[in-house]
Amino acid sequence: MIEPAGYCIEDLNEGMEASFSKTLTDADIVLFSGVSGDTNPVHLDAVYAAGTRFGGRIVHGMLTASLISAVLGTKLPGPGAIYLSQNLRFRAAVKPGDTVTARVRVATLDRARNRVTLACTCHVGETLAVDGDAQVMVPSREQKGAAS
């Protein structure tokens, strides 16, 4: 088995970026609803949702924001990073079938504590749907070597 590589704290620099895009489908919404227990009809019931300010169904905000986790866990910093906190602001609704691009950028580094703060966004085209910041713990080369 090939060990997945992630960045070590020594390899990160402010300004580094990575992204992940996914089209959020009806199946994603139904599955997320089942896993999370969030069965709000604005996500699942077209008739109900048509009467809301959105005029139709919308994707769960946390499903949209979960794409940030995909970037953090697989790309930047990647495997080995541990989520410590996440602040989110929901700016615009995401509709079923929209393609969301989650992007993270290294904002600050605390190498002494192995902590990284990342600016996070989710866009649908040019529209900002979610923004915020996350803090993760990233192993050092020494710590990664000890885990092997």
Give 99-129 pLDDT, tens digit per residue: 999 999 999 999 999 999 999 999 999 999 9
Helix or strand or coil: residue 31? helix
| Distance between CA atoms of residues 90 and 60, nearest Å | 10
Beta-carbon contacts of 77 under 8 Å, excluding residues fewer than 6 positions away, are 6, 7, 12, 116, 136, 138
Global pTM? 0.92
Domains of the chain, by residue range, sit at 9-24+61-147
Span 28-85, pLDDT tens digits: 999 999 999 999 999 999 999 999 999 999 999 999 999 999 999 999 999 999 999 9
| Distance between CA atoms of residues 131 and 108, nearest Å | 16
Is it true that domain 9-24+61-147 has CATH number 3.40.50.150? no
